[in-house]
Amino acid sequence: MLVATLTDLMNRIAANDREIAAINNRLPDGAGRILEAELIARDMPGFVENGVHAVSLVQELRLPAFHHDVHAPTTIL
């Protein structure tokens, strides 16, 4: 249940981020960009600040496989 809930949440956030990216690509010059949900939730201005790269949880989250399968040791969201 937890894996399904988190998978659904991460997929919806990723879809939302794609929509925001499409909107940002169409903004006129000089317009401020819309921040992605993860940046808002983590109170971050971007994924790179002062040359330091922050990991995107939406893109990098991996959960352990709750039912062991030698061919799938982690669950990729």
pLDDT in tens, 35-62: 998 999 999 999 998 899 999 988 888 8
Tokens encoding 56: 């995107």
Tokens encoding 22: 């499409």
pLDDT digits (tens, 9 = 90+) for 8-23: 998 999 999 999 999 9
Q: How many domains does the chain have?
A: 1
Enclosing domain of residue 31: 2-76
Q: Which residue has the higher pLDDT, 5 or 1?
A: 5
| DSSP E strand stretches across the chain | 48-49, 52-53, 62-64, 74-76
Q: In the predicted model, is pLDDT for residue 33 greater than 60?
A: yes
Q: Tell me, what's the pLDDT at 75?
A: 56
Q: Tell me, what's the pLDDT at 27?
A: 94
